[in-house]
Chains A and B, each alone.
Chain A
Amino acid sequence: EAGVVQSPRYKIIEKKQPVAFWCNPISGHNTLYWYRQNLGQGPELLIRYENEEAVDDSQLPKDRFSAERLKGVDSTLKIQPAELGDSAVYLCASSLGSGAEAFFGQGTRLTVV
């Protein structure tokens, strides 16, 4: 069975440009997470979905970040406009339910120049 799939793996953009990341979770996993991981640190939660509902987006910088999970399956995370400080690895994870084992994708490494 395929794991969590993310694309692209790498993205380099100039500041003030928009960028979008895509995630396809494991089939049947209702819970989907987006995390941001800075170099050498643990992941920090940006948003958590239960099916198509965002149940925890308290850590999402809503002035420039947005996310969608329209059909409760795959999800996109967008940044517009990007800032230098947004450079990080953006990880998507899915699980059968909140608190259950989370399976992570390989992440998208974003570099804003």
Chain B
Amino acid sequence: TQLLEQSPQFLSIQEGENLTVYCNSSSVFSSLQWYRQEPGEGPVLLVTVVTGGEVKKLKRLTFQFGDARKDSSLHITAAQPGDTGLYLCAGDPPGNEKLTFGTGTRLTIIP
């Protein structure tokens, strides 16, 4: 059983549209991180959320950590072709210091 489930697995939308991707778990996390990975590269950290209910913004990207610290969402406004990539959430459950990755959402923005 995957500790972190991401949805949707694939998403293809037109440039300028808005989108939301989700990261869900039955476990509580001390913190949760979002990464973006481009082909041929390693994942690059976008943001870390720590507090339940926390909202962080990074330009057109809005990240939210669920109140119970079991889930998170990433909302992109006015998507651009440069947003294309594999979006990964990762977390470390309390008492387990293993940084565990989700299944990923592969996002394609069509010009």
Contact = CB atoms under 8 A, between A and B. Distances in A.
Interface stretch (B55-63, B72-80, B102-110): B102-110
B45 interface: yes
Contacts of A101: 33, 45, 48
Contacts of A99: 30-31, 92, 97, 99
A9 to B, nearest CB: 8
Contacts of A106: 40-42
B21 interface: no
Contacts, number: 60
Given A99-B30, A103-B45, A104-B44, A33 B102 contact: no
Contacts of B41: 106-107
Interface secondary structure of B, over-half rule:
loop
Interface residues of B, number: 25
Interface residues of A, number: 25
A45 interface: yes
Contacts of B4: 42
Interface of A: 4, 33, 35, 40-45, 48, 55-56, 91, 93, 95, 98-99, 101-107, 109
20 contacts: A40-B86, A40-B104, A40-B106, A42-B4, A42-B6, A42-B101, A43-B101, A45-B99, A48-B98, A91-B43, A95-B99, A98-B92, A98-B99, A99-B31, A101-B33, A102-B33, A104-B44, A106-B41, A107-B41, A107-B42
